[in-house]
Amino acid sequence: MRSDLWTFALRLYTEPGVEQACLRLQDDGVDVCLLLTACWLGQRGTTFDITRLDALCEVCDPWQEQVIKPLRSLRQNWRAQAQNDQALTGLREQIKSLELEAERELLARLESATAGWAAGEMEQIENWLSGCCPKRKGADRDALEQLRVAVLAL
């Protein structure tokens, strides 16, 4: 069954171990929205091409830097203070909602960027994951394998 990227990302994220794998990869500097897009494209059989990856990065990088990362940083910086401050806890939850909405918008933009990229018969998950997380980045290989297995299970 084919699905839009947002629906796919939500389904994948609820698979056992995926949330933890994504958070570990995010801590390693991997862009999780790009990674989820790579999983989606790989499952659809869209052929990996470095030019395609570069096009996705052109969409992703500015949005991450200018929108998502500042929201995440603010939310994370308030974690300790919010434990003893009800008002700050509420504001932190609002920021968390904004962060999620910003990620949803980024996934919509990434999906739009892939319009016209043909789906194939053979899954390409390994190719896309390897392209997004080359070994030189030091990405957690176990976390990537967890993602690959979860995508194949969908």
CA dist 125 and 117 (Å) reads 15
CB count, 10 Å around CB of 145? Answer: 14
pLDDT at residue 135 in the model: 62
Chain-centroid distance of CA 145 in Å reads 15
Provide the percentage of residues in the chain whose pLDDT is more than 90: 72
pLDDT at residue 100 in the model: 95
Q: How many domains does the chain have?
A: 1
Q: Taking the chain (154 residues) in consecutive chunks of 10 residues, what is each chunk's mean pLDDT?
A: 82 94 89 95 93 96 96 94 93 96 96 92 87 70 89 89
Range of the domain at 22: 5-153
Chain-centroid distance of CA 137 in Å reads 16
List of long-range contacts for 142-146, beta carbons under 8 Å, 24+ apart: 142/21, 143/20, 143/21, 143/22, 143/24, 143/25, 144/21, 144/25, 146/17, 146/18, 146/20, 146/21
CB within 8 A of 104, min separation 6: which ones? 6
CA dist 100 and 148 (Å) reads 23
Task: State the residue for tokens 């806890």.
Answer: 89
State pLDDT tens for residues 128-145: 998 888 665 556 888 888
